[in-house]
């Protein structure tokens, strides 16, 4: 385990004025608190907080962050309390330790609750002090370095969580070194064969090329010396996961990749950056389309650098990054540059960007997103790295992720512009809304009042802001539609028991069903969260057994012609026969005669029992005015279609007693309507009127047992 003297020595290298006594005090406090505790690897538990502190010292962080690392598990895993830490080390450090503890509790809870919900809470928590996140990232990094000591299942859980959340967060914070290592450590667990294959190819390439890296470094240094530019030149192989991602994204073989080697030129000032760029391009041929100037257009996390790809020695394509020392510090440590020290003093890096505003915006903008899975999807999209820069007609720059469309552009400017978008022009030419935007393009959005988002829009956009706004608008539209439909279902359900629909009745139903208000009842009824039967039961439970039982189950008996032994029979619920259907009776000892449609799939089970079969016919006039049956309708998933189908059914003089969504896709619904009709002709008229609708692809009679029979065959 790293000694306190060695830890303090590493801190003094960048901060000679560090409070060594306070750090030693924190070290002793943590060592005592964790006494007797062991890690899964068999090492003393306190070795972990010490290594977390060492990682933060490599980022040149302040004393408060280092001490927090040493104490970050004391409140959670020992008998020490928040007050104990506050009394000895002050409120600032106690609050930081408490913040890390809360993040750890969220992480543990993720095994039992949705990880997405924990991610939402994590974003809100770290927006208060970003040093909490830095300690957590260092904590996760050391845990991933030592993860082989835990079970394979636990390794997979942690590797997936790291790849989905912590590595992208490290990247979004600009801490590229931690992001690269977290990704590679996770890659080793999630796809060991893929990682090993990349390493084997690297070794083969080294053998074939006699290790090009030192040779290319020497070439670059000679070229810079010839023009009098002083710089530090380094080279490296890209990380295995970075190579693997490029292979997957570009669908290219390893040997075709152009940038598996990376070289970095660190200059004294920005002027030398562009001078060095000219020297590199004069010596080697630049690869078209592979030049990026992140100095004139920095990334949102503060990253600044020149990127260019050239055909270097022996025609090997290599990527070259050129930047100043200050830019390099931000590129490697990102947000940590805010708390970094140089020569014993807090160093204000002019290129460092404080991302706390980003966290606050995210927590405020997406906190209303109801679905946790939607939230985590939006967060992942917010953590993109590659961007395109487009312009408004007034020349304002709009940053978007690569692959963004004019719809993303519209929603980035304002939600109302996105919602009302009807067209777009790119560089003065009309283009479809799904067009992928490129760097430097000028975009004009055409709007019209009354326009509303379509469900197909969600497939056209890539930004979390656009996806969230589209989903919200569609939900609101569906709610209006569901309220209208629910009102009709409520009216019909209450009229069946001789009651009228009133505002007061729905208000009482809301109280009984535990819903917010009358519209919530109608919306839930229209979206089939509960049925008209449930509504009636909440208001008139004493009538439920006599007048309001669902028509699809127990029905009144019918005096069928042809019955002798038995006085009456009942339509079988499996096939729901109605007047006009050829029928047959099946004698049953306990329930009398069950009358089936002659084509009912269940009749096959009675073929060996001919003595149970009875010839029956419908009476010329049944004592029931209506009969229960069902139809299946496949319709376009668009605002107003479902309501229109319900209206068509009502216009034909039929009632909807229930409806069920058997399939719900982004582009269509498949819905089963349970109806009360007079006879077969009445049913055919209803189906015909529905089939005529342009948004209906199929409408037919529905029998559940016919479906089951087909599945059995």
Angle between helices 82-89 and 20-33 (to 10 degrees): 160
Q: To which H or E segment does residue 236 belong?
A: strand 231-237
- Integer Cα distance of 571 and 612 in angstroms: 16
**Among 43, 76, 237, 293, the one annotated catalytic:** 76
- Cβ(137)–Cβ(59) below 8 Å: no
Tally: H helices and E strands in the chain: 28, 21
153-171 burial, b if ≥16 CB within 10 A, otherwise e?
Answer: eebebbbebbbbbbbbbbb
For 496-531, where are the alpha helices, taking DSSP H only? Answer: 503-513, 518-526
Per-residue exposure over 593-622, b if at least 16 CB sit within 10 Å of its own CB, e if not:
bbbbbeebbbbeebeeeeeeebebebeeeb
Pairing of strands 569-571, 292-293: unpaired
SS3 75: helix
Check: CB of residue 464 under 8 Å from CB of residue 381. yes
Angle at 373 between CA 480 and CA 402, to 5 degrees: 100
From residue 161, give the alpha-carbon distance in Å to each of 166, 169, 180, 376. Answer: 7, 11, 15, 12
Structure tokens at 130: 């970003």
Tokens of 658: 């229930």
CA atoms of 505 and 266, how far apart (whole Å): 75
281 burial class (0-12, 13-18, 19+ CB within 10 angstroms)?
Answer: middle
Angle formed at CA 663 by CA 660 and CA 668, multiple of 5 degrees: 110
Distance CA 206, CA 260 (A): 12
Q: Which of 351, 299, 301, 297 is nearest to 327 (CA)?
A: 351
Cα gap 436→406, rounded to integer Å: 8
Q: If DSSP states are collapsed to H, E and C, what string results for 294-332?
A: CCCCCCCCCCCCEEEEEECHHHCEEEEEEEEHHHHHHHH
Q: Is the dihedral of CA 670, 672, 675, 679 positive or negative?
A: positive
Residue 77: active-site member: yes
For residue 199, CA distances in Å to 239, 240, 264 come to 9, 7, 22
Reference 456, options 469, 446, 438, 470; nearest CA is 470
Q: Give the active site residue among 24, 43, 58, 77.
A: 77
- Is residue 534 flagged as an active site residue? no
Query: How are the residues of the chain apportioned to helix, strand and coil, as percentages rounded to the nearest 5?
Result: 50, 15, 30
For residue 632, what are the contacts with CB-CB under 8 A and spacing of at least 6?
662, 670, 671, 672, 673, 698, 699, 700, 701, 702
466 half-sphere exposure, CB direction, 13 A CA radius: 30
Environment class of residue 711 by beta-carbon count within 10 Å: exposed (0-12), middle (13-18) or buried (19+)?
exposed
Q: Which residues are catalytic?
A: 76-77
């Amino acid at each position: 385990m790293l000694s306190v003297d060695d830890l303090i020595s590493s801190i003094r290298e960048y901060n000679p004025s560090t409070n060594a006594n306070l750090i030693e005090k924190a070290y002793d406090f943590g060592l005592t608190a964790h006494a007797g505790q062991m890690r899964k690897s068999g090492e003393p538990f306190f070795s972990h907080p010490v290594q977390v502190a060492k990682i933060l010292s490599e980022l040149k962080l302040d004393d408060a962050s280092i001490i927090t690392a040493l104490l970050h598990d004391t409140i959670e895993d020992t008998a020490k309390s928040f007050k104990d830490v506050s009394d000895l080390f002050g409120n600032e450090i106690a609050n930081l330790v408490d913040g890390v503890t809360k993040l750890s509790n969220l992480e543990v809870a993720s095994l039992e609750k949705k990880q997405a919900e924990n991610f939402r809470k994590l974003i809100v928590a770290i927006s208060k002090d970003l040093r909490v996140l830095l300690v957590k990232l260092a904590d996760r990094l050391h845990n991933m370095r030592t993860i082989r000591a835990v079970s394979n299942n636990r390794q997979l859980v942690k590797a997936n969580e790291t790849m989905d959340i912590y590595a992208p967060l490290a990247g979004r914070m600009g801490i590229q070194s931690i992001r690269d290592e977290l990704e590679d450590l996770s890659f080793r667990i999630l796809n060991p064969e893929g990682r090993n294959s990349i390493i084997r190819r690297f070794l083969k390439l080294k053998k074939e090329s006699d290790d090009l890296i030192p040779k290319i470094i020497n070439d670059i240094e000679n070229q810079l010396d010839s023009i009098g530019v002083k710089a530090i030149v380094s080279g490296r192989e890209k990380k295995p996961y970075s190579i693997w991602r490029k292979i997957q994204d570009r669908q290219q073989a390893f040997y075709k990749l152009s940038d598996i080697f990376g070289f970095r030129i660190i200059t004294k000032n920005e002027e030398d950056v562009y001078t060095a760029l000219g020297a590199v391009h004069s010596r080697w041929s630049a690869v078209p389309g592979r030049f990026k100037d992140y100095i004139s257009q920095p990334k949102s996390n503060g990253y600044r650098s020149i990127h260019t790809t050239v055909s270097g020695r022996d025609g090997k394509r290599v990527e070259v990054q050129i930047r100043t020392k200050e830019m390099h510090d931000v590129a490697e440590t990102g947000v940590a540059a805010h708390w970094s020290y140089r020569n014993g003093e807090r160093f204000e890096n002019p290129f460092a960007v404080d991302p706390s505003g980003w966290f606050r915006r995210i927590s405020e903008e997406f906190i209303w997103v109801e679905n946790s899975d939607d939230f985590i999807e939006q967060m992942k999209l917010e953590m993109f790295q590659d961007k395109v820069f487009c312009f408004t007609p007034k020349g304002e720059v709009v940053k978007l992720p690569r692959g963004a469309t004019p719809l993303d552009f519209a929603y980035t400017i304002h939600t109302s512009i996105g919602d009302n978008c009807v067209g777009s022009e790119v560089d003065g030419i009309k283009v479809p809304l799904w067009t992928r935007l490129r760097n430097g393009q000028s975009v004009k959005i055409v709007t019209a009042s009354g326009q509303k988002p379509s469900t197909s829009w969600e497939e056209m956009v890539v930004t979390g802001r656009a996806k969230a706004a589209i989903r919200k608008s569609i939900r609101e539209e569906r709610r209006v539609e569901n309220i209208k439909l629910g009102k009709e279902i409520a009216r019909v359900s209450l009229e069946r028991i001789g009651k009228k629909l009133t505002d007061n009745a729905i208000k009482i139903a809301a109280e009984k069903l535990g819903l917010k208000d009358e519209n919530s009842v109608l919306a839930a009824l229209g979206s089939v969260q509960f049925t008209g039967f449930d509504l009636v039961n909440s208001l008139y439970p004493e009538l439920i057994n006599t007048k309001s039982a669902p028509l699809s189950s127990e029905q009144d008996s019918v005096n069928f012609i042809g019955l002798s032994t038995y006085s009456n029979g009942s339509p079988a619920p499996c096939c729901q026969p109605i007047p006009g259907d050829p029928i047959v009776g099946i004698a049953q000892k306990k329930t009398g005669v069950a009358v089936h449609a002659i084509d009912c799939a269940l009749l096959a089970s009675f073929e060996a029992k001919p003595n149970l079969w009875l010839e029956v016919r419908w009476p010329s006039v049944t004592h029931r005015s209506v009969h229960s049956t069902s139809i299946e309708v496949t319709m376009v998933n668009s605002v107003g279609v479902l309501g229109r189908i319900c209206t068509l059914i009502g216009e034909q003089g039929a009632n909807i007693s229930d409806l069920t969504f058997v399939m719900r896709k982004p582009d269509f619904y498949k819905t089963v309507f349970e109806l009360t009709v007079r006879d077969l002709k009445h049913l055919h008229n209803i189906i015909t009127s529905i089939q005529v609708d342009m948004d209906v692809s199929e409408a037919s009679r529905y029998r559940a047992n016919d479906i089951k029979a087909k599945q059995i065959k």
